Amino acid sequence: MRYVVLSTILVCAFCVAGVKSQPAAVDDTLPSNYVPSGKVMFKQYCATCHGSEAKGNGPLASLLKVPPPDLTKLAQRHAGKFPYDYVSTVLQFGPGPSAHGSSDMPTWGPIFGYFDKQNQKAVQQRIKNLCDYLASLQEP
């Protein structure tokens, strides 16, 4: 009987964790298999600069040397196809030393990989979720 009670408590703990899956600030208490939806991650990590609609007009945008690009036009700027490879490279390694000097865009690889260097699968899945979400925002 005691086991039943115990496992019920455990299961409930998981339920609660599942329900409030709003990401907290990046910290290493997050479970290594924590993979929020692209939308949630975008709000959490990207909207301050790129804007909640990804149009490049987030509250921080005016403070940056290089304005954050409109991410709904990525496909348009890449011959009509959403550039998955390019975006996942940017997310892992940053936009790189761009032609116009150093970049204001943080490198996200360490952040997405931060809580679990071991769990590459989860890292890749987070990046994929973000890419899928951005792909869904593309303007024709």
Q: How far is the CB of 97 from ligand HEC (least distance, A)?
A: 8
Q: Which helix (H) or strand (E) holds 38?
A: helix 38-41
Tokens of 50: 């790129």
Nearer to ligand HEC, 10 or 93 (CB): 93
Nearer to ligand HEC, 6 or 139 (CB): 139
Q: How far is the CB of 131 from ligand HEC (least distance, A)?
A: 8
Q: How far is the CB of 1 from ligand HEC (least distance, A)?
A: 48
Q: Which residues bind ligand HEC (CB under 6 A)?
A: 45-46, 48-50, 60, 64, 66, 68-69, 71, 74, 87, 90-91, 95, 98, 103-106, 108, 130
Residues 19 and 11: their CA atoms lie apart, in Å, by: 12
